[in-house]
Amino acid sequence: MPTGVHIRDARQQLFEAAERVLLRDGPSALTSRAVTTEAGVAKGVLHRHFADFDAFLVELIRDRVVRIEHQAAALRASAGTGTVAGNLTEALIDLFDPVAVGIVGLVIFRDELRARLRQSRPAHTFPVATEAMAMVAAYLTDECELGRIAADADVGSLALSLVGGAHLLYADRKGTPPDRAAVGKLVTTVIADVVQRRLL
């Protein structure tokens, strides 16, 4: 690979290459060489922007977390419109795209990455899942204040059930996501009580 060639937005190019490798070959195949080969750049490009490969992976995960923050803003903006079940179903489908599911597997797979993440995150948090639960809990809190779910709803437990259940639906499907009806059934089952009690 030629050196000295300017690469536009090398970090983003490397992130996108890592996502492709992750989706195609799984977390065990994600190496610095695989990423730079996929990106079509010299291996030194990655080390010019990141201290080491685990530092690169930490930033890849942070990039995903920023996307979830944008998704969270969109979900909260939907409070009071449509149906609670419909809003949550769409949010979970958007959240658990193949890359997000792959990143959860990557964190589980790489011990050193988990150790590095613990240095930069609050204790007892798991990237992607933690942000997803916060997103759902914030939305449910808004809907609670609007009177569309029961005032005493345990939004933390509901968020855990929704995100954990959705992750299980999406995990280990070899690239075939569950259909919308399956996600919708999970959502309506989990929130049925708080929606019904709101009407009492």
Q: How far apart are CA 177 and CA 41, in angstroms?
A: 32
How far apart, in whole angstroms, are the C-alpha atoms of residue 82 and residue 189?
18
Domain segments of the chain as ranges: 1-49, 63-198
pTM (2 decimals)? 0.86
Rounded CA separation 140/53 (Å): 37
CATH 3.40.50.150 correct for 1-49: no
Interatomic CA distance for residues 140 and 150, integer angstroms: 10
Fold of 63-198: Tetracycline Repressor; domain 2 (1.10.357)
**26: Cβ–Cβ under 8 A, 6 or more apart, which residues?**
102, 105
Tens-digit pLDDT string for the chain (200 aa):
444 444 458 889 999 999 999 989 988 899 999 999 999 999 899 989 999 999 999 999 988 889 999 999 999 999 999 999 999 999 999 999 888 888 888 888 888 888 888 887 776 678 888 899 999 999 999 999 999 999 999 999 999 999 999 999 988 666 678 999 999 999 999 999 999 887 66
CB atoms within 10 A of CB 151: 10
